[in-house]
């Protein structure tokens, strides 16, 4: 369940008051950044009072854990935020298509890519599309017949 777009009380540095804010972006279910409804300033969420810091255990999964070696790739904040918004808006019964080079997709389609995860198709041409993934926008080929792949 997404918090994006919800109202939340937070301390605004510009107003120097605890005021109503709108959640802009969340990370792992926690509010990350908010927008002040009074002055419009966007900033990191700090909460009405300073909360006690909690150590988040590193995610454990086969093949490696988050920590010293594997750093996540940097994400352009605008793209990541848009991806979060699109994910929040997505109807629960939306069709998600596996990405295949030979298939053709339409603007508004949701695809599942083996490496980049869920993506939202934003623009299409005859054989290419621009897809918004969590880690940014990517150009992907589509509607290519494997037999003809090299004959452009
Ligand atoms: Zn403010």
What spacing in Å lies between the alpha carbon of 118 and ligand 1's midpoint?
34
pLDDT in tens, 101-128: 999 999 999 999 999 999 999 999 999 9
Q: Ligand 1 centroid vs 8 CA: distance in angstroms?
A: 13
Which residues neighbour 133 within 8 Å (Cβ) at sequence distance 6 or greater? 79, 83, 113, 116, 117, 118, 119
pLDDT at residue 41, as a whole number: 93
Q: How confident is the prediction for the chain on average, in pLDDT?
A: 83
- How many whole angstroms from 137 Cα to the centroid of ligand 1? 31
pLDDT tens digits, 9-46: 998 888 988 899 999 999 888 899 999 999 999 998 87
94, 88, 79: which is closest to 132 by C-alpha?
Answer: 79
**Most confident stretch, 55-64, 65-74, 141-150:** 141-150
Q: Kindly give the distance from the C-alpha atom of residue 35 to the centroid of ligand 1, in angstroms, as a whole number.
A: 8
Do residues 82 and 137 share a domain? yes
Has residue 75 got a pLDDT over 80?
no
Q: What is the pTM of this model?
A: 0.47
Tell me the CA–centroid distance for residue 16 and ligand 1, in Å. 7
**Do residue 35 and residue 84 come from a single domain?**
no
Distance 11 CA to ligand 1 centre (A): 8
Residue 3 belongs to a domain with what CATH number?
Answer: 2.30.30
Q: 40, 33, 46: which is closest to 4 by C-alpha?
A: 33
| 8 A C-beta contact, residue 124 and residue 139 | no
Which chain residues have CB less than 5 Å from ligand 1, an ion?
Answer: 12, 14-15, 36, 38-39, 41
84 and 126 housed in the same domain: yes
Claim to verify: residue 45 and residue 101 sit in the same structural domain: no
Percent of the chain with pLDDT over 90: 53
> Whole domain around residue 43: which residue ranges?
1-49
What does the pLDDT average to over 96-101?
Answer: 92
* Predicted local confidence at residue 58, as pLDDT: 56
Exposure on the CB side of residue 86, measured as CA atoms within 13 A: 20
Domain count, the chain: 2
Alpha carbon of 57 to ligand 1 centroid (Å)? 33
Find the 79 Cα to ligand 1 centroid distance in Å.
24
The alpha carbon of 44 and the centre of ligand 1 are apart by a number of angstroms equal to 12
Calculate what percentage of the chain has a pLDDT beyond 70. 76
pLDDT score at 64: 47
Residues 6 or more apart from 47 whose CB is under 8 A from it? 10, 11
């Amino acid at each position: 369940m997404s918090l994006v777009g919800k109202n939340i009380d937070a301390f605004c540095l510009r107003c120097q008051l605890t005021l109503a804010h709108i959640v802009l972006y969340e990370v792992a279910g926690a509010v990350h950044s908010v927008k002040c409804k009074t002055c419009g300033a966007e900033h990191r969420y700090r909460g009405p009072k300073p909360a006690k810091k909690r150590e988040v255990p590193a995610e454990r999964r086969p093949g490696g854990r988050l920590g010293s070696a594997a750093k996540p790739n940097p994400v352009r904040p605008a793209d990541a935020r848009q991806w979060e918004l699109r994910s929040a808006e997505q109807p629960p019964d939306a069709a998600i298509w596996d990405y295949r080079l030979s298939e053709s997709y339409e603007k508004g389609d949701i695809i599942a890519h083996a490496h980049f995860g869920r993506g939202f198709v934003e623009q299409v041409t005859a054989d290419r599309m621009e897809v918004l993934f969590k880690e940014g926008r990517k150009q992907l080929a589509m509607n290519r017949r494997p037999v003809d792949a090299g004959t452009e």
